[in-house]
Amino acid sequence: MRLVEKLLIQGLIIIIILIVIQAWLDNVQAAFLDYLPPIGFAIFVAISYFVQPLIIGVTNIAIINNLHKTRGWQVGFWLNGIFLLLTFSTLNLILKMAFNLPFLPVIALIDLLLSFPFGCIARFSNGGWTKPIG
C-alpha cells in the first residue's frame, strides 16, 4: 500500500470516529445534563474530555502500528487523542462560524473530504518504533 493510501485510510477512520462520537454527544447532551444533576454533567465532561480522547489516541496509534509495521508509541494516548479532538473541534468551529453551517450533515461531509490532510496530521502526531522495544 502506498503512503498516500495509508494516510487517507488513517484520516478516514479517525474522522469517522470523531464524527460519530460528536453526533452522539450532541444528541445526548441534554439527557446527560438532566440525569441526577450534577452527576450527569460530570459524566458528560468525563466522556467528552477523557474517554473520547483516549479512544481516539488508542485508535490512532493502533492504525499507525498496523499500517507502518511499528511498535510502541511516542506520544501518550490521551495527549494524542485530545490533540486530534482539538484539531477537529477547531476546524468545525471555524466552519460553523464563518459559513454558518450545521454540524450534520454539512460540516461532517466537509470533514470527510478532509480525511487525507487529517490523516497526515494524525500520522505526524504520533509514531512507533521499527526496532523491538527494550
Partner 1 sequence: MSKLASSLYQGLVRFTNKSLVKNVIVITLCAMFLFILIFYPYNYYSSAQRNQNSTFQVGIDYVYEQDNLSEIYGQVAQIYDLGFKVIRIDFQCDPLVYDALINQETDMLFSATSHYGLAVALVIPNGETVDDVNYYLDRWGGNLTYIQIMNEPETSSSWDVGALFTDDEITSTFNILYAAVESHHLSAQLYTNFGIGYVLRSNIPIDLSQKLNFVGLDIYMNSFLVLSPLFIQNLQEITHKNVVITEFGMSTTNSAAQTNYIISGLNLFKSMGLKGCWIVYWNSEYDNYGIRGTPTATAVGDWIAKNAK
Stretch that binds partner 1, among 4-12, 29-37, 58-66, 109-117 (CB under 8 A): 29-37
Tell which one of 4, 20, 37, 113 touches partner 1 (CB under 8 A). 37
Cα 107 from Cα 64, distance rounded (Å): 26
The answer to whether 132 and 71 are in contact (CB under 8 A) is: yes
Q: Minimum distance from CB of 26 to partner 1 (Å)?
A: 8
Tell which one of 6, 12, 28, 41 touches partner 1 (CB under 8 A). 41
Q: Minimum distance from CB of 123 to partner 1 (Å)?
A: 11
Give yes or no for residue 127 binding partner 1 (CB under 8 A): yes
Cα 74 from Cα 87, distance rounded (Å): 19
